Chain A
């Protein structure tokens, strides 16, 4: 059986101007132009997008889920980064 692998590309779609690109899934394609074409046909058949990014899946560097606690938990107790940490009297108005 012939096995020619068209590489995997991750697809990001901008839904409309003003929004950021959002990951929607992946496609297989032999080259970048084909990846754009395939992503267009697969993920924007119902006007879901105005712009596309395709990225070779092999080029994505991801954080390790095992590091989740050490990467993300230290942020949990930094409540002073949030506006509600500070007491401002109501008389001052919206701030």
Chain B
């Protein structure tokens, strides 16, 4: 691209350079500002994937709403799953400011063209999984999301501020569930331990491939879409979570996990990357179920969406006729 503009001294600079200077100066990009196509595409992909994850994420937890073991737990879970729908909508709304239409983004989700976070392809067979998701999955998500509140694209950053503010109750909700189980009957404690065993490694995989195998990271960091590397955030999560597990009296299922005084961090064992890529390819425990469910929901609802649009059209025509008659 050869488009240029003049810098304050009158020397020509490329639009890309001016854009990068702007970002380097920690200024925000707003919807109608000039931006490189690749920046726009990267953001649309990332924000819509994030939105899809929130929407698919309603399934593994939503299926416990009708079975929650107390009314207090039930209302908390409803409010939480409702927030997830809300977060999905904030994020679709942010992506739309980049010129993507929600219908297209949703269509990409339904056909499998767009991805969502693999974590939601794991199953929630017991009530303890609801605790583990809140504690670990939301905990990992918060590690990922807090830096996004300062991401370079204004509408995304603003959406993430809302999301992070609301998420803070999610993790506490999950941890409280785990705490009650861990202090409960032996059967309940076992239930909590089993859930931790199921969710520990998948939670660590949520941060994405190791830095040396993460092809898009460098560019995203340069654009300040992303501010910390995958490994850095993963380490932060482990350091934060180990003491929480100790407090619960539960055992993290990693024999290699130990404190490293020299590094000032916990060391942990190899992660199951084969599993990561398998789930990404669609071979996780619930990929098919999640997609089938979302597709069925979408097609079952088509007549409702059409009806509302038809009614709005009729109303508009009636108002126009009334104005004409007056």
Contacts and interface: CB of A to CB of B under 8 A. Distances in A.
Q: Do A and B touch directly, given a CB cutoff of 8 Å in the complex?
A: yes
Interface of A: 1-6, 8, 25-28, 30-31, 34, 41-42, 45-46, 62, 64-66
Interface residues of B, number: 29
Contacts of B309: 4-6, 30
A5 B90 CA distance: 18
A34 to B, nearest CB: 7
B299 interface: yes
Interface in B160-203: 166
B149 interface: no
B299 A2 contact: yes
B68 to A, nearest CB: 19
A64 B308 CA distance: 34
B33 A65 contact: yes
Interface stretch (B51-59, B102-110, B137-145, B280-288): B102-110
A21 B110 CA distance: 36
B34 A6 contact: no
A30 B96 contact: no
A2 B308 contact: no
A26 B96 contact: yes
A64 B166 CA distance: 34
Given A1-B107, A25-B90, A25-B93, A31 B305 contact: no
Contacts of A62: 32
B306 interface: yes
A42 B311 contact: no
B38 interface: no
B32 A31 contact: no
Nearest to B165: A46
Contacts of A8: 96
A30 B308 contact: yes
B30 A42 contact: no
Nearest to B94: A25
A34 B107 CA distance: 23
Contacts of B312: 30-31
B96 A3 contact: no
